[in-house]
Amino acid sequence: MKRWLGIFCVTVFGLWASSASAATLKPLASSGDWTSEPIFATAPPNDGRVFVVERGNAASHQASIRIVEDGVIQTEPFLTVPNVDLTGERGLLSMAFAPDYATSGLFYVFWVAREDDSLDSSTSAGDIRIVEFRRSESNPDLADPSSARLVFKTPHSATNHNGGWMAFGPDGNLYFTIGDNAAGSNAQDLTKIFGKVLRIDPAGAGPLDYSIPSDNPYAESPGGALPEVFTSGLRNPFRASFAPDGNLVIGDVGQNTTEEIDVGDLAGKDMGWPTCEGFCDTPDPLLTDPFFEYAQQDPPDSLCAVLGGYVVRDPDLTGLTGRYLYGDLCNAGLRTLNLAVAGGDPVDPGITLSDGAYSLRSFGEDSRGCTYVVTSQNVYRVAAGASSPVACPHSVPPPDPPVPPVDTTSPSVALSGQARFLRRTIALYVKCSEDCTINARGSLNTRKRQGRKNYRFGYAKTGVPATSNTWTKVELTLAASALKNARRTFRSGRSLYALIDITASDPSGNSRRVKTRINIRRAKPPGG
């Protein structure tokens, strides 16, 4: 069965929640309030607004991002994006806010372009773009179109399998998905961008308009592997998300038989397409099986294309909280999984799209912890009951406390040492540039030309605390037998020196190691 995501060929319909669940779906607007079909919903960190991405208008080749605040859709778009290709599955597909959006005002938009423009004079129809914008300085409900900066682009000749999801991960890097360009052979080819999850730092500098995180799986890989690649072997990862535990969750659209959901730390993992569709019949140690799969079905119980969702965080949604909510393009019923147990414990939550028409596009979540269902006609909040308000009832979380700067500087260390008479203990004075802890060890040694013999010091005086810029006495002690041997060395006419190895560590764990050499003299006899 040849099929594609088909995100625009649907019938207009409403939504309802079955009596099997207390959850209901509250529309954020009237379907006529949107300028084109909604396709994605998200929110900035610590912000009570919901931002809805509209796919675009085929006549004007423009797409908009709209703001819904306190259950009311704003008339003026937050941003209008020009030069959008709406052929097939193309369009304006997602957006992501920088983790520091409150101060930086930066956000990123994923769309498919149709021709050359001021951003790029070498655009071909179908080029996938990630573009950085900045919030207007004078109005927080508007973006500044003139701030556009092209961060990433790649040609994409197929009108389907674009991927299209984008989000910042817990590590602060930008993750995004691109489908296999309708050619399965691309997915496992690490020299090609298609059929992958990519990870970049969009604010990086250098020869590219972004930088590569140093811990990317192929950041330093030989053989031509693209350093942006994070996960490979995917067909069309149209929607994904991060679970509360930080795991990446991908809904990867299958071909003829199987839909799959991939979960976990997927760095460097090959998810198997096109070698396997879903679980591999024969286990392959080089491939990673999905967390969950389900079989495609023909009408009337149609299942054809998974639409990945989110783990529900809303504490009001009894029975749904903590479960992963997702759906299928060709089925009216929404579905849930428990990502913490093997097999997923699939449960039907009783939330159903209207009879006979399927227009599900995506899911979303806001910073208050509410979950959203996005269809081609409207956006709905998953609410606890019919009496629940349209707006998310939870308070906006306070901003995260400022992170203190990380101390990465090792303390400087000064030593005071000079020739010493041979004694059971040797005292050394140490001064650090900041409060530190001193660990020391050392040995007595004969001259090389006389034959080397070492007499090790004890370790009783390690862990010595030292106050910033204050000389601190550190004593190292010889065992009685070592002291006896050292005196014998002097009687034989040989000379001795001490090698002292000092490590000073500050409270942040930064350390500096220094060594010093101290000449040891024969002790004068009493009265001598």
Of residues 174 and 508, the one with the higher pLDDT is 174
Amino acid 13: pLDDT: 32
CA distances in angstroms from 255 to 104, 226, 395, 464, listed in the order given: 41, 25, 42, 66
Task: List the structure tokens of 212.
Answer: 């590569």
Amino acid 207: pLDDT: 58
Residue 7 has pLDDT above 60, yes or no: no
pLDDT band at 279, cuts 50/70/90?
Answer: very high
Residue 419 region by backbone torsions, left for phi larger than 0, else alpha for psi between -120 and 50, else beta? beta
Smallest Cα–Cα separation from 373: which of 320, 445, 300?
320
Of residues 7 and 276, the one with the higher pLDDT is 276
Averaged over 338-352, what is the pLDDT? 94
Amino acid 449: pLDDT: 58
Amino acid 352: pLDDT: 83
Picking from 241-255, 418-432, 465-479, which range would have the lowest pLDDT averaged per residue? Answer: 418-432
Provide the total of helices (H) and of strands (E) in the chain, helices listed first.
Answer: 2, 35
Q: Which CATH class is domain 15-383?
A: mainly beta
Of residues 224 and 371, the one with the higher pLDDT is 371
- pTM metric for this prediction: 0.77
Parallel, antiparallel, or unpaired for β 420-421 and 511-521? parallel
Residue 2, helix vs strand vs coil: coil
Residue 525 has pLDDT above 60, yes or no: no
pLDDT band at 357, cuts 50/70/90?
Answer: low
pLDDT above 90 covers a percentage of the chain that reads: 71
Picking from 74-83, 109-118, 488-497, which range would have the lowest pLDDT averaged per residue? Answer: 488-497
Compute the chain's Rg from CA coordinates: 32
What secondary structure letter does DSSP report for 3? -
pLDDT above 70 covers a percentage of the chain that reads: 91
User: What would the pLDDT profile of 32-60 be if each residue is shown by its tens digit?
Assistant: 899 999 999 999 999 999 999 999 999 99
Amino acid 21: pLDDT: 53
User: What would the pLDDT profile of 460-505 be if each residue is shown by its tens digit?
Assistant: 567 899 999 999 998 888 888 888 888 888 888 888 888 889 999 9
Averaged over 312-325, what is the pLDDT? 96
Q: Domain map of the chain by residue range? A: 15-383, 413-521
Amino acid 91: pLDDT: 98
Q: Per DSSP, what are the bridge partners of residue 420? A: 520
Task: Indicate the average pLDDT of the chain.
Answer: 90
Amino acid 11: pLDDT: 31
Neighbours of 430 (CB within 10 A): 24
Amino acid 444: pLDDT: 86
User: What contacts 298, CB < 8 A, 6 or more positions away?
Assistant: none
Amino acid 4: pLDDT: 40
Averaged over 158-185, what is the pLDDT? 97
What architecture is domain 413-521?
Sandwich (2.60)
Which residue type does 510 have?
Answer: N
**C-beta separation of 397 from 33 below 8 A:** no
